[in-house]
Each structure stands twice: as structure tokens, then as C-alpha cells.
Amino acid sequence: MPLPEAPEPRHAVAETYRIRHTTRYAYGDEVSFSHHMTHLQARGHGRQRIRRSTVVIDPIPAQRLDFADFFSNPVTYLEVRAPHRQLAITAESEITVFAAPVPDLATTPIWERMRDRLRVGHGSVGFPAGAVDPYVCDSPYVRLDAALADYAAPSFLAGRPVGLAARDLQARIHADFTFDPTATTVATPLEEVLADRRGVCQDFAHLFIGCLRVMGLPARYVSGYLRTLPPPGQPRLVGADVSHAWASVWCGDGTWVDFCPTNDRLADTDYITLAWGRDYHDVSPVRGVVQGGAQHVLTVQVDVEPLSGQGLRAGPVDPRFG
């Protein structure tokens, strides 16, 4: 089961959201058996409290397991053993996000000192000293190479605090890269994104993470949702919201700071966390294997309703995450 949530912060500015995320598969032929792993229930953490969370599957699976993965994310595993032509997975939740204290990035540790400390076996939060830290190593979608080191180098000046280096890197990615949902797929290699200077939030998060890791610093991938306001005079479009991705940087003393290179922002109450891991591979919303089915059509509908009445729509976020 997921780890217990952290105590609710006192006297914190907060926003509460009601979220509905539905993933539907329509198969061209009968599926005799399917099994899937989902990351669709948001995790609780120091500034996020889960008020309610359910996952409903149609058809009802023959087996369902709810547990926490290696990174303590809530996971639902399901097996549908009866023949079926469609599958719908609907996650509903109510979540309160609290404002994090605005970090003073200038007081974070010098990046070289942090790198050297990690090299001698002092792991980042959640991983014991002497362990190989998964947030520093290669991962399926973040392969470390010389091109990443070359791009990262201008941000990591000698003696610079890690928070300021990450902030500079975030601003550079935002300025250097164009948001283009047609330029990449989930499987586009990071080296291609770096060469073409185009992509979406997943790509920019992976690039940001790779640049930190190639310098010997821990960074993790965060999946979730981003609240943005509709254009003036336009209503919020129900069911038209989308998922988002950003990155989190280890800044020492038990502190992770969330950076969004897509929008050149630090995460605040507009950012709702679903899960985190090494990269997209660890936290993909739904993945699985089916027997039969021929071709299929995938549709994803997401609705994120701020209970204060503020809308969610627009802004550069990635519609491909389902």
C-alpha cells in the first residue's frame, strides 16, 4: 500500500482540485486477455494531501492489485480475462495542494560540493548512503552523454549554488527550445530533441534531468497536471484538460525543488503531482499487454476542476499522456 501521507501543513495557502481522468481503448477485434499497470492515483507528499481517490475499471477485472511501487507511487495492476472489445479506466480524486515556501536558491549547496558528497556515498533522500542513487544514473529515456554535458556546462559555473544553476538551466531550455506537439513521440531519443530544439513537456523535463545527472546531481521526473487559466472571456472547457510533466532537483537537507522548464516556473499550487520516478518510463499513466484486439483507438479525457472556481485550460502542456 502507499506510504502514509505527511501531516497537513498549518496555515498554508492551498488549492483543492477535483480530478477525473478517463482512458478508453476501443479494439478493432475481440481481446481475449489484457493486463495493465496504471499510475493514475495521485501520491500524497509534504505539500499535497489526497482527500479522495478511486479507480474504476470497465469491464471489471478478474484480478486487481493496489500497491506502492519502488518510488512509493500508488499503482493499480489489473487483469481482464473475459473477452472484451473496449476497456475504460477512470480515476477520480480530490486533492489539496499547499503552497511550498519560496526557496532561496542562492543558499542551496554549491553544486560541486554536492556532486562530490554524492560520489563518496551520501545518497539523496530516500536512498541510503552507499547505494547507487537511481536519480543520478542513466535511465530508459535519459541516457547521459557528452552532448548533454556540453549543453549543461554554461549553467554550472564554478562555485554556483545548485539551485541557481538549475534555475539558469531551466531558463535556457525555455528560451532555446520550441514547444511543438508534432515534433516528437514518447519514444523520441533525447539526443534528437537536443539536436532539433523542439518538443513537449516530457522532452524538456527529460533534457533538464539529463543535464543535472550528467553533472553528477540527482534529478527526478514528475508527472501530474498543471492549472492554467482560460483566455479572457472564455469558459473552462470540461474534459479538455491534459497532463503535464516537470522535474525535481535534490538541493540537500531533505529538500527537493520542482522546476518546470516548459514554462520557466517553479512549481506552486498550480502543479498537481501524480507520481515521480527516474523518467516517463517509471510513471506512464497506463501501460499493458493485450492478447488479440488487432488495431485499437485510444481516447483520453481529463477534467481538473479547481474547487475555488478557477478554470484550467490553455498553456503549453502535453496532450499525449494517457
* Half-sphere exposure (Cβ direction) of 176: Cα atoms closer than 13 Å: 17
Domain identity same for 275 and 291: no
The verdict on residue 208 lying in a domain is yes
Please give the model's pTM, rounded to 2 decimal places. 0.88
Read off the CATH number of the domain in which 89 is found: 2.60.40.2250
The verdict on residue 72 lying in a domain is yes
SS (H, E, C) the chain: CCCCCCCCCCCCCEEEEEEEEEEEEEEEEEEEEEEEEECCCCCCECCEEEEEEEEEEECCCCEEEEEECCCCCEEEEEEECCCEEEEEEEEEEEEEEECCCCCCHHHCCEHHHHHHHHHCCCCCCCCCCCCCCCCCCCECCECCCHHHHHHHHHHCCCCCEHHHHHHHHHHHHHHHCEECCCCCCCCCCHHHHHHHCEECHHHHHHHHHHHHHHCCCCEEEEEEEECCCCCCCCCCCCCEECEEEEEEEECCCCCEEEEECCCCEECCCCEEEEEEECCHHHHCCEEEEEEECCCEEEEEEEEEEECCCCCCCCCCCECCCC
Domain identity same for 169 and 198: yes
The verdict on residue 317 lying in a domain is no
pLDDT at residue number 4: 36
The verdict on residue 314 lying in a domain is no
What is the band of 239 on the pLDDT scale with cuts at 50, 70, 90? Answer: very low
- Cα–Cα distances in Å, from 269 out to 17, 157, 187, 275? 10, 31, 30, 16
Read off the CATH number of the domain in which 242 is found: 3.10.620.30
List pLDDT tens digits, range 260-292: 999 999 999 999 999 999 999 999 999 999 999
The amino acid at residue 156 is: F
Q: How far apart are CA 163 and CA 256, in angstroms?
A: 10
The verdict on residue 322 lying in a domain is no
What is the band of 15 on the pLDDT scale with cuts at 50, 70, 90? Answer: very high
Q: For residue 209, which of 201, 219, 200, 217 has the smallest C-alpha distance? A: 219
Domain identity same for 90 and 159: no
Q: How far apart are CA 26 and CA 49, in angstroms?
A: 34
Domain identity same for 76 and 131: no
pLDDT at 53 over 90: yes
Residue written as grid cell 542551496: 108
The overall average pLDDT reported for the chain is 87
pLDDT at 39 over 80: yes
Domain that holds residue 178: 105-281
The verdict on residue 51 lying in a domain is yes
Q: What is the mean pLDDT of residues 84-106?
A: 93
Omega before 232 cis (within 30°)?
no
Domain identity same for 65 and 125: no
Q: What is the mean pLDDT of residues 68-96?
A: 96
Q: How far apart are CA 78 and CA 288, in angstroms?
A: 9
List pLDDT tens digits, range 188-204: 999 999 999 999 999 99
Domain identity same for 276 and 159: yes
Residue written as grid cell 516548459: 262
The verdict on residue 119 lying in a domain is yes
Instruction: Tell me the angle at which helices 201-214 and 162-176 cross, rounded to the nearest 10 degrees.
Output: 140
Q: How far apart are CA 188 and CA 213, in angstroms?
A: 19
Domain identity same for 129 and 268: yes
Domain identity same for 143 and 75: no
- Cα–Cα distances in Å, from 131 out to 6, 122, 135, 225, 249? 25, 8, 11, 31, 18
Domain identity same for 270 and 288: no
What is the band of 320 on the pLDDT scale with cuts at 50, 70, 90? Answer: very low
Domain identity same for 219 and 163: yes
The verdict on residue 61 lying in a domain is yes
Q: Which residues contact 72 (CB under 8 A, 6 or more apart)?
A: 2, 3, 43, 126
Domain identity same for 127 and 218: yes
Domain identity same for 132 and 224: yes
Total count of domains within the chain: 2
pLDDT at residue number 259: 97
Q: Which of 56-65, 121-130, 137-146, 154-163 bottoms out in mean pLDDT, i.e. has the lowest?
A: 121-130
